[in-house]
Chains A and B, each alone.
Chain A
Amino acid sequence: MTTTTAAGEVNRYLDEVRALLVDLAEDERNELLDDLAIHLREVAAETDEPLERAVGSPAAFASELRSSAGLTGGAHTGGPGPVAAARQRLERGRRLVSESGPYRWTRALLPELVPGWWVLRGYLVVVVLSVMGGDHHFPHFPVPALLGSALLGLVAVAVAIFASVSLGRRHRGEHRARWVNVLDVLVVIGTLSAAGAIRQHVGPQYVFSEAAPMSAGPLSHADGRPITNLFAYDEAGQLLDGVLLYDQDGRPVVVGDGDLYSDSGLPLETEYRLDANGAEIPNLYPLDQRVQEWRYQPDGSESTLEAQPVRPPAIAPPRLAESQQQTTTTVSTSSTTALPTTTVP
């Protein structure tokens, strides 16, 4: 048993015994406990066992001490007063818990975890400072940014961890100052509120970035199916090539400037035709597209992706009423160019 853990254990034990001797005159109690501290440190130094196993529970110890030292108490003579009796009952309940296996296991593990907390504490202090400074977005997670600089944040984390560990090494066991406890509590509270602030700022961003491609994406039908290409036919069912499409305001109608996918979810490669300056013309239809398709080998074993040109859909052109046919024909003949590859039924 190391001296520091033993000292902490002795102090905890003394506190519990002190609580059970509240009915004694203060002078008597203090004198008794000062001596007892020396005695218990001797015991702790001589044995590797936990103190409670070596000398019994604080409640048993206090009651044995009462009878053997002939303690009478201040106001109360004989048995413990009502307050002390209540404390003893509490003590018995506490003993049941503290003697249970899981409690002992956890208690034994705690000293091992403490250095981990020192490191975490240093890091969290910088995170809290970073969030307090307005850096809610945590762009370089897990490195907190200080004054907008992740490098500064990283340096601060290193310094803070060093400081926190030094602090922890200096203030442990019985030397642990009260303000260190206060610091720990502040760090935990600060972290919780910082986590809240980060959540608030990151949350909406997530929603926005997910919603964005949906709203600014390709044209789509009312049922949500995307429109990835546009094919214009004249009333005779002839596919028109080189059609520029504009909306009511003269803005080019573009099916999408991002990645387009076929119905089967495979990517479409679009090759836009270029203007004289070499710029793409996005609203010149139909778009020249190729789609990646799985091609199965004759033996059925291997399959490879192959780019296939997207073909115009098979359509059934409506039959127009007699009176309208004449007027529209002139328009169509002047502007249509039949593609050699067109397969209109």
Chain B
Amino acid sequence: MTDRTGTDTTQLLKGVLDLAVLAVVKDADGYGYDILRRLRDAGLEEVGDASVYGTLRRLFSAGALSSYVVPSEEGPHRKYYALTPRGHDLLERGAKTWRQFADTLDQLVGTDRKEAA
């Protein structure tokens, strides 16, 4: 996933990880590792543990996520995150911005490819 200039999905991810995390939590509440796994299963294989955890923390501080602890009979307690109304709002706006951005980039890259061909 890394080319010689050092650009990789990790760099791209940084800008959109908030959106990805919000989208995953919207599907279902989840605890840190569970969210991480769902992101990876969805194809974001290079997403880092600390990045997801940091993002969850930041979204929580910003009021986009709420959390609750679920005691586990086997293993540690789990801190579940859920989307707040503010989180929903953020996700909607973020998704809109992303689509526009992706369209723009698609056009750019698409045009570029045509010119190159």
B48 touches A39 (CB 8 A): no
Place the interface of chain A in its size category: 20 to 34
Question: When A and B form their complex, which 8 residue pairs have the shortest distance between CB atoms, in order from nearest?
Answer: A68-B54, A69-B54, A41-B76, A64-B50, A55-B49, A45-B75, A39-B32, A42-B33
A62 touches B31 (CB 8 A): no
Chain B interfacial positions (CB closer than 8 Å to A)? 14, 17, 31-34, 37, 48-55, 57-58, 69, 75-79
Q: How far is the CA of A202 from the CA of B37 in the complex (A)?
A: 65
> Given A45-B76, A56-B48, A64 and B32 touching (CB < 8 A)?
no
Q: A42-B34, A55-B50 are in contact. List 17 more A-B contacts (CB 8 A).
A: A38-B69, A41-B77, A42-B31, A42-B32, A42-B33, A43-B32, A43-B33, A43-B49, A44-B76, A46-B37, A61-B49, A64-B54, A65-B51, A68-B53, A69-B54, A70-B54, A71-B54
Chain A interfacial positions (CB closer than 8 Å to B)? 3, 32, 35-36, 38-39, 41-46, 54-56, 60-71
Residues of A near B58 (CB, < 8 A) are 68-70
B42: shortest Cβ distance to chain A, in Å?
17
Residues of B near A3 (CB, < 8 A) are 75-76
Q: How far is the CA of A321 from the CA of B69 in the complex (A)?
A: 121
> Given A32-B57, A35-B57, A68-B17, A42 and B50 touching (CB < 8 A)?
no
SS class of chain B's interface: helix, strand, loop or mixed?
A: helix
B48 touches A64 (CB 8 A): yes
Contact partner of A35 among B50, B55, B79, CB < 8 A? Answer: B79
Residue of B nearest to A37 (CB): B76
Residues of A near B37 (CB, < 8 A) are 46
SS class of chain A's interface: helix, strand, loop or mixed?
A: helix
> Given A39-B32, A42-B31, A42-B33, A65 and B54 touching (CB < 8 A)?
yes
**Contact sample, A vs B, 29 pairs, CB 8 Å cutoff:** A3-B76, A35-B53, A35-B57, A38-B69, A38-B78, A39-B31, A39-B33, A39-B79, A45-B76, A46-B33, A55-B48, A55-B49, A56-B48, A56-B50, A63-B50, A64-B48, A64-B49, A64-B51, A65-B51, A65-B53, A67-B54, A68-B14, A68-B17, A68-B50, A68-B53, A68-B58, A69-B55, A69-B58, A71-B54
Q: How far is the CA of A63 from the CA of B54 in the complex (A)?
A: 10
Most B Cβ at <10 Å: residue of A54, A70, A71: A70
B68: shortest Cβ distance to chain A, in Å?
12
Q: How far is the CA of A338 from the CA of B20 in the complex (A)?
A: 122
Contact partner of B50 among A44, A45, A61, CB < 8 A? Answer: A61
Residue of B nearest to A38 (CB): B79
Q: How far is the CA of A41 from the CA of B75 in the complex (A)?
A: 8
Residues of A near B54 (CB, < 8 A) are 64-71
Q: How far is the CA of A186 from the CA of B37 in the complex (A)?
A: 46
B10: shortest Cβ distance to chain A, in Å?
9
Residues of A near B51 (CB, < 8 A) are 64-65, 67-68
